[in-house]
Structure 1
Amino acid sequence: MTEPIIQLKNVSVEFNSKKKQVSAVNNVNLTINKGDIFGIVGYSGAGKSTLVRLINLLQKPTSGQVIVNKQNLLELSDKELRISRKKIGMIFQHFNLMNARTIFNNVAFALKGTDLSKKQKNDRVNELLDLVGLSDKANNYPSELSGGQKQRVGIARAIANHPDILISDEATSALDPKTTQSILELLDQINKKLGLTIVLITHQMEAIKQISHHVAVMDQGKIIEEGSVYQIFSEPQKSLTKSFINTTTRLDETLKVLYEQENVKHLSKDQKLLSLSYFGDSTDEPLISSLYEKFQVSANILYGNIEMLQGQPLGNLVVILSGTEQSVQNALNYLNESRVKVTELNPSEGDINELN
């Protein structure tokens, strides 16, 4: 049974400048369940970082309610809020490590002021360094570590006090792709091992795809689309969401290359250039071979990709269908009935026109 751990109810954040009033977050409602990895994606200025700072009240809302662990944070005293914040860890893009302290002491600093004995603190730091794979770096200094290793220290420090929630605010955006993957794998491991709820703020849809369970897409202070990662990737509704997804499949780049091919530039009247997206049960069917058997429509596959999201297959094809006008239409009807999303591509205009 799912249990909400974070609830943002009709929250808005407005900033006043000399020239105008800026609405950074505009009447947002968001529920994140315990143990979830929840991604919030959007371009710079979308309001995602402001939104996530509401979760620990580093940013107070202009209006609305912030409920974390069944507590309305806006009703807490300063002392109660400090206690509540200890249950929320944060990691950032630029690590925020103390250069004059060893890695061991950077992590130990998070335990300062706790009731733990010196031995308990040392044991906890060693446990954390082992968890993030840095046991051999305890006596090193931040300047001696790579970017990925520094972020691992940041993660160890952020979870030192056994938080219920870990907020990752663009924590991988300064890292190379391989290091990003290793950090995301570590966060996934921590989520599974500790049951930690993770809120992943990013402009990288690839990061969302790799480990998130659910995702919200933000634009101009609003959540414009929300759902499970599989649902959003298989059936995106908004053009911005589709644009984010295309960056992970590299479909836009692929189409630019395909549009330059002679057979694509000069389609005959009985040919259609199509993008086919298929998911779930539809991936088990031999759909392409069925088109010729059922309708005498041939398919020239120009591009194909299939991947697993949350244990379910999701595929994309770019094909040229050839046949009579009626047979091609019959084939398209068959694909639609088979839950395949069909999009007609127009190389002469360089755009995409949805058929369904």
Structure 2
Amino acid sequence: MGEPIIKLDDIVVDFTTKDHDLVAVNHVDLTVDKGDIYGIVGYSGAGKSTLVRVINLLQRPTSGSVHVNGQDILSLKDAELRQARKKIGMIFQHFNLLNSLTIEQNVAFPLRTSKLTKAEKKQKVDELLELVGLADKKDSYPRQLSGGQKQRVGIARALANGPDILISDEATSALDPKTTEAILNLLRDINEKLGLTIVLITHQMEAVKQVCNRIAVMDTGKVIERGEILDIFSKPKQPLTKAFIDTTTRLDATLKVIYQQENVRNLPASDKLIKLSYVGASTDEPLISTLYEKFNVSANILYGNIEILRGTPLGNLIVILTGAAADTDAALAFINEQDVQVTELDPNTQSEVID
């Protein structure tokens, strides 16, 4: 564990309307370490954006404590809070650029109250535009840029005051997949070059998978699961987390096709439809051939996928195991011993078999 730069304790955010009361954030704790890229993922209405706005008090909590950069943010007076907020940059889904200003002027806008000289401000803006790959666009206007270029301007502007923390609130949601990948790569580069702490709010598990080190999954105002990215992807505990992961790996769509295959629909009672999930060194083992050699159990592979996550192989196999019942049971016990997660699938209910 590193040094915490953000520490939210027992945060509650209530909204009262004419018709009803809404608990947007429900007793949430969150700790983000300095220099980390931390993802907060959840569907619309989960409370993730409300929670993150508590970090710089754009949303004051109903109760709880907020410590950022070692400061008790809730105790700060207005002038002190304005200074603290300069160390927390934000980028948004819809860019929030000023259309009447050039790109150079947009990036310089947060520096209007800075004590830097005019020459120092210009140098700062030039460096930031170079960093985000838009040095040749400084005299252009937002309407002349693509969505990805606008978001790069938003990132440069968010970095103008030299923040320690960058909050990305659904910043890639309006972009196509290729542009999203480029923006996420840029954020990762900025994290590495500047040592910046990044908090990424998104409903896209693909974005989390690409750049985050740790994640929290939110649902109806609560954090339902959190941990290292590799642990979450290899062994998700909550159904919602699993659903997010299956969507990003396209395993859910693959299973729909598999369940319609004739050999699966007419699966003999003695056969088993199995999903194998494995991580790290487990992916290097010749598992399938070993099943036949040791247990006389054959495996018909219907689907296989391996991807690299934080430098570690992570894979899934869907297979039909065929053999005598006792042999199949012994083979499954052997697989479990290899640190491979085994999930039996039921073609009739098109779901996992729960013991």
TM-score norm. by structure 1 comes to 0.98
Comparing 340-349 with 34-43, greater Cα deviation is found at: 340-349
- Which consecutive residues of structure 2, in runs of 5 or more, have no partner in the other structure? none
Partner of 2:60: 60
Q: Number of residues paired by the alignment?
A: 355
Give me the whole-angstrom Cα distance separating, in 2, the residues matched to 1:224 and 1:146: 37
**14-23 or 33-42, larger mean C-alpha shift:** 14-23
Contact preservation (8 Å) 1:16, 1:22: yes
1:155 match: secondary structure: helix
Deviation at 1:344, TM superposition (A): 1.1
Deviant stretches of 4+, over 4 Å: none
Deviations 1:259-296 (A, max 9, x none): 11111111112211111100122112111111111111
1:189: which partner in 2? 189
2:97 is the alignment partner of 1:73: no
Look up the match of 2:228. Answer: 228
Q: Which has the higher mean CA deviation after the structures are superposed, 221-230 or 104-113?
A: 104-113
- Identical counterparts, % of pairs: 65
The amino acid that maps onto 1:282 is S
Question: What SS does the corresponding residue of 2:174 show, helix, strand or coil?
Answer: coil
Deviation (angstroms), 1:20: 2.0
Q: Secondary structure at the match of 1:129?
A: helix
Aligned equivalents of 2:97, 2:304: Cα separation in 1: 44
Residue in 2 that maps onto 1:315: 315
Deviation at 1:111, TM superposition (A): 1.1
**1:354 offset after TM fit, Å?**
4.6
Matched residue, 1:44: 44
| Counterpart amino acid of residue 35 in structure 2 | G
Cα offsets for 1:188-235 (capped at 9, x unmatched): 000000000000000000000000000000001000000000010001
1:253 shift after superposition: 0.4
| Structure-1 residue corresponding to 2:157 | 157
Amino acid at match of 1:123: Q
Matches within 5 A, 1:41-190: 41-190=41-190
CA distance in 2, matches of 1:339, 1:28: 33
Map of 1:256 onto structure 2: 256
1:267 partner amino acid:
L
Instruction: Tell me how far apart the structure 2 counterparts of residues 210 and 106 of structure 1 sit (CA, whole Å).
Output: 29
| Contact 1:342/1:354, CA 8 A, preserved across alignment | no
Q: Does 2:294 align with 1:303?
A: no
1:333 aligned residue: 333
Question: What is the distance in 2 between the residues matched to 1:160 and 1:304?
Answer: 46
Letter in 2 for 1:194: L
Distance in structure 2 (CA, Å) of the matches to 1:110 and 1:81: 16
- Residue 353 of structure 1 deviates from its aligned partner by 2.2
More divergent stretch after superposition (72-81 vs 277-286): 277-286
1:103 touches 1:141 (CA, 8 Å); kept in 2? yes
CA distance in 2: counterparts of 1:262 and 1:130, whole angstroms: 57
2:271 corresponds in structure 1 to 271
Cα deviation 1:157-192 (Å, max 9, x = unaligned): 001111000000000000000000000000000000
Amino acid at match of 1:118: K
Partner amino acid, structure 2, of 1:248: T
User: What's the C-alpha RMSD, in Å, of the aligned pairs?
Assistant: 0.8
Distance of 1:353 and 1:43 partners within structure 2: 26
Q: Distance in 2 between matches of 1:27 and 1:68?
A: 18
Helix, strand or coil for the counterpart of 1:98? coil
* Structure 2 CA distance for partners of 1:252 and 1:230, relative to 1, 3 Å: same
Residues 48-82 of structure 1: CA deviation (Å, up to 9, x unaligned)? 00000000000001000000001011111111000
Please say if residues 128 and 156 of structure 1, whose CA atoms lie closer than 8 Å, have aligned partners that are also in contact: yes
* Counterparts of 1:185 and 1:119, CA distance in 2: 30
SS in structure 2 at match of 1:97: coil
Q: Which residue of 2 aligns with 1:10?
A: 10
Q: Secondary structure at the match of 1:43?
A: coil
Give the CA deviation at 1:346: 1.3
Q: Distance in 2 between matches of 1:237 and 1:127?
A: 44
Structure 2 CA distance for aligned equivalents of residues 342 and 165 of structure 1: 40
Question: Which residue of 2 is the match for residue 238 of structure 1?
Answer: 238
1:59 is paired with a residue whose SS is coil
Tell me how far apart the structure 2 counterparts of residues 176 and 183 of structure 1 sit (CA, whole Å).
11
CA contact (8 A) 1:301 1:320 kept: yes
Structure-2-length-normalised TM-score: 0.99
Distance in 2, matches of 1:130 and 1:242, equals 40
